[in-house]
Structure 1
Amino acid sequence: MFDTHCHLDKLFDHFQSNNLKINFTSSSIPQILKDSSHYYLSVSTSVSDWQAVLDISSRFEQVYAALGLHPWFVTTDSLTTIDQLHNLLSSNQVHAIGEIGLDFSYEYKNNAQNQLEAFSKQLTIARKSDLPVSMHLVKSHNEALHELKKIPVNGVVHGLGTSVEMAQHYVDLGLKIGVNGVVVRENAARYQQLVKYFGLEHIVLETDYPNVKLPGLITSQLEDINIVANTVASLLNTSIEDVIMSTDHNAKQIFNPG
């Protein structure tokens, strides 16, 4: 399966310090990462984890690096660091720009202008570099759609939790919807409705490891994607094999591994 949105650098926090290269030891490598039948888009959130994401991608051939500045971590100062992306893209194998986006929920809305500037800059980099994006978009859909129509890109709106009508605007732009462990929750009716309405053609699977935990569990695991896939199969009354085949195809069309 293809996990299109996870933070694999968090797996190795204990084996990394001061933004130095990760010291990969046999004890630090999860078994699932040794299974070459799984693919991952390892996204970053700030400049401080870009090198870790690149290290992991270079260590595991089925892990694809995404570099970006998450809206939560955008500051006036960090806007200048976006320019570093150009150098990293030219000297490293990067498959996407992400995790980027806009978040205008109460805690982050006061930084809306900086977020918009960072989002626009990173969309432009993705467009010029012919790279897809992985986006975090919360309470900012009108603004996000405005930018995406000005700077069209390929990619995924990860963990999208909105109305069918709003989601349709993203689908009309050719973007996919990332479905994660939220779909397993009993109170996620609107999220489940998106899966039922758009079907396998317009979705990809993700864990958002370690941020999304399945109901009743204390921690998140990369293996949780199996439960996500089974839940999608149940919602669509189809086989798990069809879910895996279709979502993997969608993901590979976007992120072009290999």
Structure 2
Amino acid sequence: MLIDAHCHLDFPDFDADREAVFERARAEDVRRFVVPGTTRARWDNVLALGERDDVEVCLGLHPYFMDQHRESDLEALDQALGAHPEVVAVGECGIDARLADTLDDQWLFFDAQLRLAKRYQLPVVIHCVQANDRVAKRLRQLDLPAGGLIHAFSGSPEQARQFLDLGFTLGLGGALTHKRAKRLHRAVVSLPDEGYVLETDSPDMPLAGLQGQRNEPANVAEVCKHVARLREQTIDQVAAHSTASAKRLFQR
């Protein structure tokens, strides 16, 4: 069995054929799905998906959508976490250093969500782009009790080790299917068996050869094959390791 540890199945991209997307995933033995929140306006959609037996949900405020966030959303997030014990993590939150004009606000919202994760003793799902070292430093300072997921990790073996030492798990997805991702390939090879989960980031983060197409959870099976080749393990071994890590991380 496979788990897609990060997929945005609440997005409008799936409104026309969402159930068919689930069916295609099941055909590839992808049996469980973790859906993170991105904006307050989408939390209700995320929570509605969480009513399914095969979906776990997270709530958070994504750094890419800073223009949609208000400081009052942080209070609303606090209230939502208290009201919905079925939520398995805080996120998706984090830092995207490509968006330099909102970086100060990103850190404000990220810090606030990290503190909520600590208060509720929940793992945190982190979007971290061009900011691995700075994010690792902040996580070291806060010492979060439940760790979390570094979603779509694309750093070096040394950066991977930083996060692992802090009790975090690394999300591996479409980026590693590209031949040019040599540094990431080295990082994937360096990971302990319990150090990663597989994900798609559907509808984004397309696999090699599928650029321009909508990504979907069925493709986590292809990610699994690539990881198995890189680590010189069987597909069944990688599937078992990633599934065990996802269950441990999200306590499900």
> TM-score, normalising length from structure 2?
0.90
Match of 1:62 in 2: 54
Structure 2 counterpart of 1:221, one-letter code: E
1:231 pairs with one of 226, 234, 245: 226
Structure 1 counterpart of 2:199, one-letter code: E
Q: Which has the higher contact order (CA 8 A, sep 6+)?
A: 2
Q: Is the 8 A contact 1:199 1:236 kept in 2?
A: no
The percentage of counterpart residues that share the same residue type is: 28
The 2-side partners of 1:13 and 1:233 are apart by 29
Equivalence map 1:1-258=2 (5 Å): 1-10=2-11, 14=15, 28-30=18-20, 31-32=23-24, 38-58=31-51, 60-75=52-67, 78-92=70-84, 93-105=86-98, 108-153=99-144, 154-217=147-210, 218-257=213-252
Give a deviation string over 1:212-234, Cα, whole Å, max 9, x none. 11222223121100000011111
> TM-score, normalising length from structure 1?
0.88
RMSD: 2.0
Structure 2 counterpart of 1:235, one-letter code: L
Structure 1 counterpart of 2:79, one-letter code: N
The 1-side partners of 2:14 and 2:230 are apart by 36
Task: Assess, with a 3 A threshold, how the Cα gap between structure 1 residues 145 and 111 changes in structure 2: closer, same or farther.
Answer: same
Task: Assess, with a 3 A threshold, how the Cα gap between structure 1 residues 150 and 244 changes in structure 2: closer, same or farther.
Answer: same
The 2-side partners of 1:95 and 1:116 are apart by 23
Q: Is the 8 A contact 1:42 1:63 kept in 2?
A: yes
Q: Is the 8 A contact 1:181 1:228 kept in 2?
A: yes
**Alpha-carbon shift at residue 177 of structure 1 (Å):** 0.9
The 2-side partners of 1:174 and 1:99 are apart by 18
Q: Is the 8 A contact 2:10 2:46 kept in 1?
A: yes
The 1-side partners of 2:12 and 2:193 are apart by 29
**Alpha-carbon shift at residue 14 of structure 1 (Å):** 3.6
How many residues in Structure 1 have an aligned counterpart in Structure 2?
243
Structure 2 counterpart of 1:63, one-letter code: V
Structure 2 counterpart of 1:8, one-letter code: L
Task: Assess, with a 3 A threshold, how the Cα gap between structure 1 residues 28 and 231 changes in structure 2: closer, same or farther.
Answer: closer
The 2-side partners of 1:183 and 1:96 are apart by 25
Match of 1:19 in 2: none
Q: Which runs of 5+ in 2 are unaligned?
A: none
The 1-side partners of 2:15 and 2:198 are apart by 27
